[in-house]
Amino acid sequence: MNKNSLHTKTDDELLHSIQLNDDHSSFSVLYDRYWDKSLAISYNLTRDKSQAKDIVQEVFISIWNRRKTLEIKNFSSYLATAIKFSFYMHIEKERRRRVILEDKLERKTEAEIDDQIEALYFTDYFLSLIETLPEKCKLVVSYSRLDDMSNADIAKKMNISEKTVEGHLTKGLKIIQRKFKGDIFSVNILFTVCFFEILTRK
């Protein structure tokens, strides 16, 4: 099928072809169809053209790499949420990089260094679990557990009801808790206590 005929296909039809046949042409059509819209969303968040492009490209690369396992009901909505989460991850990485650079300027005791390593490992682990969640669950859990936002503030930021926020949060934390229980023997007691404090925090 030539690329011109693919332009008449719906998003769902293109996604089906991408997942079933590893169809690069269908992926290219989706990429072209949503590039401008995606870039606008990303730029509104970053206010930086270069970073905005990087985020959009990373999101599309991630979609292609995970094409076999993704369950996307509305591609436009999924893409917008994925871009927002990717932006959040960039902010978090930059924050952590600054903290590490600042810490290098200070003298640390062995215990303090151990605590820092533990904290960094915990953050990486928790973020890796968040990454496995459905897109809107990702944002809600990130805002709640990493940014310490209230349900009311999250609802306002995402333009959804507080009840919907509660639903996404409950679902996301249950998924994370199940995954964590599968790894529980590979983490130490302090790590386990910290993790469950985050999961059960009101």
Average pLDDT over residues 1-10: 76
Per-residue pLDDT at 87: 87
Among the residues of 105-147, which ranges form H helices? 110-131, 135-141
CA distance 135 to 81: 6
Distances (CA, A) of 4 to 7, 23, 63, 88, 159: 5, 14, 22, 36, 37
* Overall CATH class of domain 109-202: mainly alpha
pLDDT single digits (tens) 60-101 = 998 998 888 887 888 998 898 888 888 887 887 777 667 666
4: phi then psi, degrees, rounded to nearest 5: -60, -40
Calculate helix-pair angle for 24-46, 49-65, nearest 10 degrees: 140
Q: For domain 1-106, is the CATH number 3.40.309.10?
A: no
pLDDT single digits (tens) 103-129 = 654 555 555 555 555 555 566 667 777
Mean pLDDT of the chain: 79
Whether the pLDDT of residue 188 is over 50: the answer is no
For the chain, give every domain's residue range.
1-106, 109-202
Average pLDDT over residues 160-183: 82
Residue type, 36: D
The residue whose two tokens read 């089906």 is 16
39 burial via Cβ count (<10 Å: 0-12, 13-18, 19+)? middle
Whether the pLDDT of residue 49 is over 80: the answer is yes
